[in-house]
Structure 1
Amino acid sequence: MRFQNRTVIVTGGSQGIGAGCVRVFAEAGGNVAIFDIDTVAGQRLADELNAAGPGRVAVFACDVRDTARIAAAIEETVAEFGQLDCLVNNAGVHPPATPIDDTSIDDLEHLFRINFVSTYAAAKYAVPHLRKTSGTIVNMSSMTAVLGQHQSSAYAATKGAQLSLTKALAVELGPQGIRVNAVLPSNVDTPLMRQWAATLPDPASALKRVSELQVFGRMAAPEEIGRVCLFLATEDSSFITGQGIEVEGGASLDY
């Protein structure tokens, strides 16, 4: 019950890492707001977790490309649960591997709107409520922000922007009692990961190769990323801010 009587927003919370975060916060007794365009999957998850307890989960239709809708959904969340204690900026997309020659400026701007502008906007509109609770912001960046990734320059740039925003906001908001951190996962076993593998000639081999990048020989479970976010949202991490926590199973080691 580490998050009892507190409220968290998880953008992109209907599946994958976001759903893992929702599960962890709900199991810790929290009020959880799922922001997602896939309200069917979100409501299915909410129904499951509400039946199990102890937390409460509500779903708010939100396309994070629409910053006005982000602002409205945040107000709806506070009206529903009475306060806001944590924002997990998780919503994002990873396009297929594409060289810079084939990445149009429109593609770049579209990706930045989903992965970065939504993060900035949600933080902006959440801050007035987080000031009241000495709350926290957790931005879901990526190991690509610090390592790069082949034919993913646009994606890596959006994740690097999230990490830089994390550090700048930590400086700005720290004196106001708000902590801001980022989580940098490596490979996580999500539906999107398996959909990617399914596009390849040998999906099983591809998933095995990705798993073996970590020293444990496996990918992370979404809930493992969620538990790091819960740590960053509670007093257990009370002296941590402005950090990019690399949750990567040793994938960056043994170079």
Structure 2
Amino acid sequence: MNVLKDKVVLLTGGTEGIGWECTLAYRRAGACLCIVSNDRGSIARASAALNDDRVLLVEADVADAGAVEAAVAACIARFGRLDAIHNNAGISHPSKAVHETTSAEWDRLFEVNVKSIYHTTRAGLPHLKASRGSILNTGSLVGEIGQEIHAAYSATKGAVAALTKSMALDYAPFGIRVNAVAPAGVLTPMLRSWSLEQPDPSSAESYLNGIHALGYCPEGDVIADACLFLLSDLARFITGCILPVSGGAELGYRRVLKS
């Protein structure tokens, strides 16, 4: 279904993991894409794989306000409009308790996972007002229920959930919808890095399968399908929603990863 036909979507972190699956889903749905990433290698791989004039790849750090403004300007220069922003870029390192987390690590997590939404919104809002567009944030189930030895990351995702709801209220008068997806485990490079930081990495796979009521840890395509729905007109009366895409993990997620 071409549910995003002729829509222009700015997608951060769109060259790996969930973001890459969203890139593929949005393209199949007919969207033009401005993909923002700070990883030059993954940008090169994405460019070679896509080879599509409907896709603009921009190298930028989403924690840098000036770089984000330049990315939005490049998007408008290329496509002439902006219909949606998907704030997907994020980091999860380090996997530590609060007292073990350095100030620099704490700040970087919040700059990338939370303040980047501030940057994209400030830069893109005038264009979204013109298109009566939408904003989608990639959150996490841990933002609601917490996660052991992952305090700062969980805090950023809790902030994303609260921010999503506040933005939905602020921008509803302009016809702009704001929602978020909240995955549990998803088999991405970031999750595999997290697994290696655990007390017993060898048990991570069985743990990740076990926390989901449906019995397995999914790939990023299941999240991309939910994101596609929320950005499309099929979700035209949904705003302020934090949608769990979690295989029922919230029903029993507080299991301990044993050392």
- Deviation digits for residues 29-81 of structure 1 (CA, Å, limit 9, x no counterpart): 11111100113312322332346xxx822210111121110011011011111
**The 10-residue stretch of structure 1 (210-219 or 128-137) with the greater mean CA deviation from structure 2:** 210-219
**How many angstroms does 1:206 deviate by?**
1.7
Task: Tell me the equivalent position of 1:214.
Answer: 212
Task: Tell me the equivalent position of 2:195.
Answer: 197
Give 2:117's match in structure 1, choosing from 82, 100, 119. 119
Pairing 1:7-26 to 2, within 5 Å after superposition: 7-26=8-27
Task: Tell me the equivalent position of 1:82.
Answer: 80
Whole-Å Cα distance in 1 between the matches of residues 193 and 99 of structure 2?
A: 25
Secondary structure class of the residue paired with 2:125:
helix
Task: Tell me the equivalent position of 2:226.
Answer: 228
**How many angstroms does 1:242 deviate by?**
0.7
Contact 2:95/2:194 (<8 A) preserved: no
Question: Which consecutive residues of structure 2, in runs of 5 or more, have no partner in the other structure?
Answer: 254-259
- Deviation digits for residues 87-107 of structure 1 (CA, Å, limit 9, x no counterpart): 110111111321211123332
Whole-Å Cα distance in 1 between the matches of residues 218 and 209 of structure 2?
A: 9
**The 10-residue stretch of structure 1 (235-244 or 34-43) with the greater mean CA deviation from structure 2:** 34-43
Contact 2:95/2:151 (<8 A) preserved: no
- Counterpart residue identity of residue 65, structure 1: A
Whole-Å Cα distance in 2 between the matches of residues 59 and 252 of structure 1?
A: 35
Secondary structure class of the residue paired with 2:172:
helix
Give 1:141's match in structure 2, choosing from 139, 142, 159. 139
- Deviation digits for residues 182-212 of structure 1 (CA, Å, limit 9, x no counterpart): 1111000112222333566875542122112
- Counterpart residue identity of residue 134, structure 1: R
Contact 2:136/2:180 (<8 A) preserved: yes
**The 10-residue stretch of structure 1 (170-179 or 41-50) with the greater mean CA deviation from structure 2:** 41-50
Contact 1:39/1:59 (<8 A) preserved: no
Contact 2:140/2:182 (<8 A) preserved: yes
Contact 1:29/1:56 (<8 A) preserved: no
Deviating beyond 6 angstroms after TM superposition, the runs of 4 or more aligned structure 1 residues are none
Secondary structure class of the residue paired with 2:240:
coil
Contact 2:94/2:101 (<8 A) preserved: no
Question: Which consecutive residues of structure 1, in runs of 5 or more, have no partner in the other structure?
Answer: none
**How many angstroms does 1:130 deviate by?**
0.6
Contact 1:14/1:39 (<8 A) preserved: no
Pairing 1:18-37 to 2, within 5 Å after superposition: 18-37=19-38
Whole-Å Cα distance in 2 between the matches of residues 46 and 32 of structure 1?
A: 12
Task: Tell me the equivalent position of 2:181.
Answer: 183
Whole-Å Cα distance in 1 between the matches of residues 156 and 178 of structure 2?
A: 17
- Deviation digits for residues 139-165 of structure 1 (CA, Å, limit 9, x no counterpart): 111101100111222111111111111
Whole-Å Cα distance in 2 between the matches of residues 129 and 149 of structure 1?
A: 37
- Counterpart residue identity of residue 93, structure 1: I
Pairing 1:143-162 to 2, within 5 Å after superposition: 143-162=141-160
**How many angstroms does 1:252 deviate by?**
1.1
Whole-Å Cα distance in 2 between the matches of residues 119 and 162 of structure 1?
A: 8
Length-normalised TM-score, structure 1 = 0.92
Matched length: 252
Length-normalised TM-score, structure 2 = 0.91
Does residue 57 in structure 1 map to residue 47 in structure 2? no
- Counterpart residue identity of residue 46, structure 1: S
State percent identity of aligned pairs.
37
Whole-Å Cα distance in 2 between the matches of residues 199 and 149 of structure 1?
A: 14
Does residue 67 in structure 1 map to residue 65 in structure 2? yes
**How many angstroms does 1:171 deviate by?**
0.6
